[in-house]
Amino acid sequence: MWLLGLAGAALFTFLLIRQGAPQVGAAFASAGWAIAGVVIYHFAVPVVLDGIAWWVLFPKSDRLPLRQLIWMRWIGESVSTLVPSAAVGGDVVRARLAAIHGTSISTAAASVLVDITLGVFVQIGFTLLGLALIVSVTGHQGFVRPTLIGALIGVLAIIGFYVVQRLGMFRFIGKMISRLANAPDWHSLVEGGHTLDQTVRTLYARRHGVIDCCTWTALSLVLGSGEIWIALHALGLHATLINALILQSMVLTIRSAMFPVPGALGVQEGGYVVVGNLLGIPGDAAFALSLIARVRELVLGIPGLIAWQLIEARRLLRARLAANAR
């Protein structure tokens, strides 16, 4: 993780020097108050829509209020963005928060697992949409084959992941750990795994919830390109919905492919520069687009991390007070 982080920082620095730090700074400064608009738009549209996509997966009897799942989604995104946890830490945190607020552990974990699986599936379709658009707009086809190969691998991987979920992966894992540990304390892990497997199957069996989740996730991805349109407009670039969709799709794809790099540092900037150049966007302006996204991540992410720590600190304090009282 440290090596990947250092490599990302080196790539970030190299791109900044190559595009010209003064030019990038001037382009970024020209965005002005539009950066606040990007922050507000991201929370009001993608975060809310992603929260709805997660909410519809829950059976009605187990659903938490939508507003709670939205702020859990916000905290989860903050953790995934700013904490070096290979982009999965936020999903663990939001499952934990759902369990803390009354959802059964199996339902909380299963809902996040299904949400991740369906989200990856929808994002592959979004990648193919962006690929088709960039070919039609620019005529460049050199990266079509590797992108299609990557998409095919992604489809096969997500199908395999879905199959092992349906077959009961958690009970199997629990059995393996229990046998290796050979201790009674670990045997309960098998029963817990079986319960989680059953809950996962139940959520997939709710076809209406699955379809609704995919629909809201697709809306989040498509409408999320609106924040890039705002940034393009603020920088005085050729702000079209097609360009915004292409940038959103391709940069998300690059970030997903390089998920082990903490915060996609350097990777995101490289994605904006490469795709931006294909669209006729100068390198310094493309780098400035990435910096606007970074500011949005910090402005929304830091309060999210603070909120998460306050929740955990409050629980820890209550547990200690209860222990002292006993």
pLDDT of residue 198: 85
> Residue 163 is which amino acid?
V
What is the residue-wise DSSP string for 24-54?
HHHHHHHTTTHHHHHHHHHIIIIIHHHHHHH
pLDDT of residue 316: 87
Q: Which of these ranges, 156-160, 215-219, 234-238, 316-320, has the smallest mean pLDDT?
A: 156-160
Q: Residue 67: which pLDDT band, with cuts at 50, 70 and 90?
A: very high
- Say if residues 289 and 247 touch (Cβ distance below 8 Å): yes
The stretch 55-83 carries a mean pLDDT of 91
Beta carbons within 8 Å of 149's beta carbon, 6+ residues apart? none
The stretch 183-190 carries a mean pLDDT of 52
| Residue 45 to residue 244: CA distance in whole angstroms | 15
Using the predicted structure, report yes or no on whether residue 42 has a pLDDT greater than 90.
yes
15-20 contacts, C-beta under 8 A, 24 or more apart: 15/266, 15/269, 15/270, 15/273, 15/287, 16/269, 16/287, 18/283, 19/273, 19/283, 19/284, 19/286, 19/287, 20/284
The more confidently predicted of residues 104 and 75 is: 75
* pTM of the predicted model as reported, rounded to 2 decimal places: 0.86
Using the predicted structure, report yes or no on whether residue 123 has a pLDDT greater than 60.
yes
Beta carbons within 8 Å of 302's beta carbon, 6+ residues apart? 78, 82
pLDDT of residue 54: 95
| Residue 281 to residue 11: CA distance in whole angstroms | 20
Q: Which of these ranges, 57-71, 132-146, 278-292, has the smallest mean pLDDT?
A: 132-146
The answer for 261, left when phi > 0, alpha when psi is -120 to 50, beta otherwise, is beta
Q: Residue 5: which pLDDT band, with cuts at 50, 70 and 90?
A: confident
The stretch 109-123 carries a mean pLDDT of 90
Report for 17-21, 69-73, 235-239: range of highest mean pLDDT: 69-73
Q: What is the pLDDT of residues 257-296, one digit of tens each?
A: 777 787 788 888 888 988 888 888 898 899 999 999 999 9
Using the predicted structure, report yes or no on whether residue 26 has a pLDDT greater than 80.
yes
pLDDT of residue 77: 92
The stretch 228-257 carries a mean pLDDT of 88
- Say if residues 53 and 213 touch (Cβ distance below 8 Å): yes
Q: Tokens 């905290």 appear where?
A: 75
Helices 89-100 + 105-138 axis angle, to 10:
140
pLDDT of residue 39: 94
The more confidently predicted of residues 181 and 159 is: 159
